[in-house]
Amino acid sequence: MMFSLVGGSGFVVDLAAMYCLSTLVSFEVARALAFWVAASSNWWVNRTFTYRNFTDNGAEHDGLIRQWIRFLCSAVIGFIPNYLVYWGLITAFPPEWWALSSERPLFGAMWPYIAMVPGVLCGMLVNFTLSERWVFRHQAAK
């Protein structure tokens, strides 16, 4: 449950980063870049709250960096279905379809952000499984 709540906060970070970056680059590129911001945020919040009682062999600094890298690696695996679903939805409905129009005044303008949701849900199960079994696995303190 806590992992899902952290994921929800990460989605807000992802959405905010996507919005800011999409003013500078294409939606597809902004989506890929926003992922790194959100993944790092999710790692820190999960480490601080969801898995606060788990250790990483008692190593402080090196443990943090290794754990962050493991989390990013697992997040990349989860990002594959996430991005493929997003890319599929964006390319299935070209910009002419979701452009701001009188028929779709809000939905059309919001489509690149709405299209994020199904992809995020697809990646969540992969991320949870890898986080539980690899990134934040419980190890007895020495």
Q: What DSSP string describes 98-124?
A: HS--SSSTTHHHHHHHHTHHHHHHHHH
**In 3D, which of 125, 132, 102, 119 has the Cα closest to residue 15?**
119
Query: Would you state the structure tokens that stand for residue 77, as one six-digit string?
Result: 């695996």
Per-residue pLDDT in tens (0 to 9) along the chain, 142 residues: 888 888 889 889 989 999 999 899 988 899 889 988 999 999 899 888 887 776 554 445 557 888 888 889 988 998 899 889 988 988 887 666 666 555 655 566 677 888 888 988 888 888 888 888 888 775 434 3
Give me the pLDDT at residue 141, please: 40
Q: Name the token pair of 139.
A: 């190890």
Domain assignments of the chain as residue spans, ordered by start: 2-135
Q: What is the C-alpha separation between 75 and 124, in angstroms, rounded?
A: 9
Q: What is residue 77's predicted lDDT score, i.e. its pLDDT?
A: 92
Evaluate if pTM is beyond 0.75.
Answer: no
What does the block give as tokens for 83? 């991005």
How many residues in the chain? 142
Give the pLDDT score at 120. Answer: 85
pLDDT on residue 59: 47
Tokens encoding 49: 């709250």
